[in-house]
Every structure is written in C-alpha cells, then in structure tokens.
Amino acid sequence: MDNTALLTDHYEVTMVRAALRHPIAHRRCVFEVFARRLPDGRRYGVVAGTGRVIDELARFRFGDEEIAVLERFCDAETIAWLRDYRFSGDIDGYREGELYFPGSPILTVRASFAEGVLLETLILSILNHDSAIASAAARMVSAAGNRPIIEMGSRRTHERAAVSSSRAAYIAGVAATSNLEAARTYGVPSAGTAAHAFTLGFAGPDGPDEKAAFAAQIEALGVGTTLLVDTYDITAGVRNAIEVAGPELGAVRIDSGDLGVLARQVRDQLDSLGATGTKIVVSGDLDEYAIASLRAEPVDTYGVGTSLVTGSGAPTAGMVYKLVEVDGTPVAKRASHKESRGGAKTAVRAARPSGTIVEEIIHRTGDPLPDTHGLVTRDLQIPLVRSGEPVDDLPNLSDARDHLGRGLVSLPWEGLGLSHGDPAVPTRYVLG
C-alpha cells in the first residue's frame, strides 16, 4: 500500500472538519502516547513500531482516490485542507527496543490540533500491534536463554501483520523468521526447511516412504538441513533420518506430542546412532511458559508461531493517544479509570551505578529533574521528527535489538519472571 491516509478512523476526519470552523484547528497542541497499565501478568513492555510510524507518516497523503471516499461526508473546506495535508510538526519518543512501563510517554506529537489529531489511529494501530508482539517475544527469548527462537507465525495472522510481527519479534531477540517479505523489507534473517506435506507427498501405493522424502531434501539442501521426523513415528523417523543423512545431519524437528519427553528420547537415540552433533528443534504452539518448562530438556532451538502473533500470546499493549496541552495550557481527561495527566512530560530512567533500574521518573517538560539521590539517570525520549521530516541517523533494527538486550539485563531480577506481579520498575510522577 503506497498511501496510508485512509488507515484511520472516520471520526478523525470529522473532528478535523469541525475544528476547521474554529481557531482550535490551528492552536499548538501536544499529544502523548502512553499505556495506563500493562497487560495482565506482564512486568514490562517493549517499544516497537516507531520506525514504521515514521515510514508511514511520509505516505500519509490524500490523493484523488482518498478524497473520493471523503467527499461523501466532508465539505469543500475540509477537502481542500486534506489535499494539502503534510505533517509539519515535531515528534519525540522512546526509541525502538526501549522498555516502557505504565504512564511512560512513549511518543509525543507537537503540532496544530488538526494536524496532530488526524494521526491518532495510524500511530496507535502500529505501536499497539508491534509493541505487543515485541513484548511477547522478549518474554519468550528470556525464557529460552541462550537457545535461539525462530518466528514462524505467518500462517496464523493477517498477511501484512505477519511482516510487521516478524520485524517486532526480531527487535526482541528472535533469531530468524519464516516470512520472506520480512526478510526482503527489513533484512530479518529467514529460515525454513519442509512441512509434513513434503514427507507425505512421497507416499505411494506401497505406503509411506519417509526415507525418499529425507533423501530428496538432503539432495537439495545438504546434510546440514533440518528433517521433520514426526510425520509417522518419531523413533522410526529419527532412525530413517540418520540412515539417509548420516551422523552429520544438522537437526531434527519435533512438532507434536509431549515435547520434553520426546526431546529426551530423541537425544538418547541420536547419540546412540553417533549423531551427537545433530540438534533438536521443537515447535507446536509454544509460548514463554512452554519454553520455560523445557529449559532442562535437550532442546537446541524453538519455533514459535500462534502464541506470538495472536492476541492470546501477545495481548494488546493498550496504548492511548491523548491531548495533554493546548497553547501551553495542560488539559486532562478525568473520566473514571481512563484518566490522563495534563501537560507535556519528560521521562528519565534512574539506575544504580551497577546498572540496575530503580525507577522511571516523569516530570513536566522544562522543569528541572527532581532529586534522584545519587542515582544515574538517562533521558528516554529522543528526537524522531522535526518540522515534518525524520531526523538523521535514527536507530536501525540492529540498534533496537542491541538496546533491548541491554535493557533487559538492567531490570531487577524479579522483573524477568513469568509470574504475575507489579511492573518491574515503579513510575514516579513529579508534575508540580
């Protein structure tokens, strides 16, 4: 999709139409993106999607096809304004790969009311999706320890969401993706071998021919490939795999059953056949809890899909986009359970000299930093857009991935736990 202007809600445009009749349309405003709380059971969140927001912003234009849709409910003044729409404001935000907690000002948009309000849906749809995926993936990567994870969720989600999911998961430390569009668009390493259909395809009138399937795969991909051994009988499958490939076979994959028990059995069998270097890959609706339960098992690589790219495994980040300041005057929503804190804000993270995070401090932009009692502080927002144009040298995917790795190490140890509990780092507001 070349134009992103209609990736929005109807009411964003009707608000612009109403605002253009009054001075509010051109008043200088500040909008903030934040999450009031983390999803149930989560101790931290991971920011992802910021780079995509900036990319899509450049394509947020109202051409003839978009205008044709809007002419059904917009007057001539609004249509003329939309035809000329170009975001000209400033955006600051948490970099991709940054940890966030309840109240963190993840993105700050400074623009006229009309320019800024129009971006709400686009920004939230990207940040909520990508941050949910990255947050789920980070938990899985932590549970896996030093063992790599391959993301293979493309068949369990929307075809375009699969691409952005792969990108977000890579930020979180996933080693590779099965999705080739993510590899092309974002440079995420890709991986994959064969499905059960390939093995089944070699069955003939005389029954299954697993060896023929394995031989064909090795002929094409080499002995370092991964053979899927659970199409029929795992014990026979492992035996057939080593008979065909020899003890130098790269890996075998198990996609069903009691993975812990099977991994032990397969490891013993591989070793007895002399394939001591052959690795074991497991997959099959794994989430962070299943991965954690396999820590003591002889598993070398995990494949994750459904639990990473769907709402059950990656619950929405729950981010909102709120107007917090108009012409320098703080404004705030007061509705019960949906309150917002008025005024533009700045966030810093305070840590001990050892690097362990102690708290996140949110204070009014322009106010001096409150006393941190000797803790080391770091500003969390960075410039992203100035006068409508992306700033130079924004962090790339590799930067985001490395940054998150350092951030997770800095969490208090209980913050990496999978049990329910409070956010790993408390948020302190100093708003005067």
| DSSP assigned state of 99 | E
Task: Identify the pLDDT of residue 420.
Answer: 85
Average the pLDDT over 227-238 and give the result: 97
Show the CA angle centred on residue 90, arms to residues 87 and 92, nearest 5°. 130
Place 190 in a pLDDT band, splitting at 50, 70 and 90: very high
Q: What share of the chain is helix, strand, coil (3-state, %, to 5)?
A: 35, 20, 40
Please state, as a whole number, how many other Cβ atoms lie within 10 Å of the Cβ of residue 88: 13
Average the pLDDT over 99-109 and give the result: 97
Task: Identify the pLDDT of residue 314.
Answer: 83
Cβ-contact 320, 127 below 8 angstroms: no
Q: Provide the residue ranges of all domains of the chain, joining segments of one domain with +.
A: 8-132+312-342+378-428, 141-308
**Phi/psi at 395 (nearest 5 deg)?**
-60, 140
| DSSP assigned state of 98 | -
Say what angle helices 120-144 and 50-57 make with each other, to 10 degrees: 150
Place 374 in a pLDDT band, splitting at 50, 70 and 90: confident
The DSSP line for 324-371 is: EEETTEE----STT-----S-EEEEEEE-TTS-EEEEEEEETTSPPPP
Average the pLDDT over 67-85 and give the result: 96
Amino acid at 336: S
Nearest to 99, CA basis, from 413, 380, 393: 380
Q: Tokens 């057939």 label which residue?
A: 240
Task: Identify the pLDDT of residue 275.
Answer: 98
Task: Identify the pLDDT of residue 112.
Answer: 98
Average the pLDDT over 289-316 and give the result: 93
Average the pLDDT over 42-64 and give the result: 96
Average the pLDDT over 118-136 and give the result: 97
Nearest to 30, CA basis, from 327, 318, 339, 319: 327
Task: Identify the pLDDT of residue 335.
Answer: 73
Say what angle helices 234-245 and 259-272 make with each other, to 10 degrees: 40
Show the CA angle centred on residue 290, arms to residues 284 and 292, nearest 5°. 140
Cβ-contact 49, 126 below 8 angstroms: yes
Q: What percent of the chain has pLDDT over 90?
A: 89
| C-alpha to C-alpha distance for 292 and 233, rounded to whole angstroms | 26
pLDDT 10s digits, 134-189: 999 999 999 999 999 999 999 999 999 999 999 999 999 999 999 999 999 999 99
Show the CA angle centred on residue 201, arms to residues 200 and 207, nearest 5°. 65
Note the CATH architecture for domain 8-132+312-342+378-428. Alpha-Beta Barrel (3.20)
Written as six digits, the tokens of 136 are 């789920």
By three-state DSSP, how is residue 263 classified? helix
By three-state DSSP, how is residue 33 classified? strand
Nearest to 301, CA basis, from 152, 139, 154, 153: 152
By three-state DSSP, how is residue 164 classified? helix
By three-state DSSP, how is residue 376 classified? strand
Task: Identify the pLDDT of residue 421.
Answer: 86
Average the pLDDT over 40-44 and give the result: 92
357-364 and 345-351 strand pairing: antiparallel
Mean per-residue pLDDT of the chain: 95
Measured in whole angstroms, how far is the alpha carbon of residue 357 from the centre of its chain?
22
Cβ-contact 100, 50 below 8 angstroms: no
Amino acid at 18: A
Place 130 in a pLDDT band, splitting at 50, 70 and 90: very high
- Classify residue 208 by burial, with Cβ atoms within 10 Å: 0-12, 13-18, 19+: middle
Amino acid at 198: F
By three-state DSSP, how is residue 187 classified? coil
| C-alpha to C-alpha distance for 122 and 142, rounded to whole angstroms | 30
Contacts for 203-210 with beta carbons within 8 Å, 24 or more apart?
Answer: 208/232, 210/236, 210/237, 210/240
Measured in whole angstroms, how far is the alpha carbon of residue 156 from the centre of its chain?
16
Q: What percent of the chain has pLDDT over 70?
A: 99
Measured in whole angstroms, how far is the alpha carbon of residue 149 from the centre of its chain?
15
| C-alpha to C-alpha distance for 96 and 191, rounded to whole angstroms | 24
| DSSP assigned state of 204 | B
Higher pLDDT pick, 273 / 416:
273
Nearest to 93, CA basis, from 363, 338, 379, 356: 379
Task: Identify the pLDDT of residue 1.
Answer: 54
Domain 141-308 is found in CATH 3.20.20.70: yes
8-132+312-342+378-428 and 141-308 share one fold: no
Task: Identify the pLDDT of residue 379.
Answer: 96
| C-alpha to C-alpha distance for 303 and 309, rounded to whole angstroms | 13
